[in-house]
Amino acid sequence: MAPEVQAVVHSTQAWLRSSWHVQVPFAWLEACVEWLQEEAGGAGRLSQQQINQQALDQWLLTDLRDLGHPVLPESLSQAQKTELSGTFCVQVDSLLDIGQPAYGQLQKWKGSDVANDDVSAVTQATQRPWEARPTRMLLLQVTDGVQSLEAMEYQSIPALSTALRPGVKLQLQGKMVCRLGMLLLGPSNIKVLGGEVEDLVERNTQGKVLCRTLRVPEEQQQEPAPQQGIFN
């Protein structure tokens, strides 16, 4: 690699770490920068700022398992109880609202009114006026590319929703408690960076995750076309 290209890669690597806390293998970033420059018509066609942003965009569309670059503390998923502090970028493989009946969510996802007939009617018949209604509680399957664990929304996090695409990248920040391999997250712990992963979008649609939870045949329904990345 030419010295000038290597300098660009090092600058991009430093920018990703300082601005976004994103850590990637140097070899992946080198290949990414070279591809971006080739697509632009050669070295020097893109500014450092443009290369930085486009490299970040490609990372957002990459499956972190393909990078194999761990950032979470080793053996975190096996810890009985530990407190985590810092900033870590992870990928969401799938998510599920465990605060609501899965069957009702599946019917709503399918666009069926059966949810109102079979679920809401029962709930309304048994729920007293003074009882609190169920609130959302998201359970996320997250990974840093090497280590996978669960994360639970134990306090409402407005930045999260079931509409997030599988493969979306999150920035975990601040102090977090991890118990028995599960991270407990509040609103101050999450920043959504965006992105998706094509294979995960196809495999972990909300409908398919709900079907697996209910142990019923997975739905065969079309999802919106995912974005395309060059290194995912």
Question: The domain spanning residue 193 has which CATH number?
Answer: 2.40.50.770
**CA-wise closest residue to 2 among 231, 196, 10:** 10
Examine the domain organization and report whether 92 and 205 are in the same domain: yes
Examine the domain organization and report whether 49 and 143 are in the same domain: no
Instruction: List the domain range (segments joined by +) for residue 36.
Output: 3-60
Examine the domain organization and report whether 50 and 158 are in the same domain: no
Examine the domain organization and report whether 185 and 151 are in the same domain: yes
Q: Structural domain tally of the chain?
A: 2
> What pLDDT digit, counting tens, does each position of 198-228 carry?
999 999 999 999 999 999 988 655 454 555 5
Q: Tell me the pLDDT of the chain averaged across its residues.
A: 88
| Position 117 in a domain | no
| Position 112 in a domain | no
Q: What is the pLDDT of residue 219?
A: 60
> What pLDDT digit, counting tens, does each position of 8-56 carry?
999 999 999 999 999 999 999 999 999 999 999 988 899 999 999 999 9
Q: What is the pLDDT of residue 149?
A: 95
| Position 139 in a domain | yes
Supply the pTM of this predicted model: 0.82
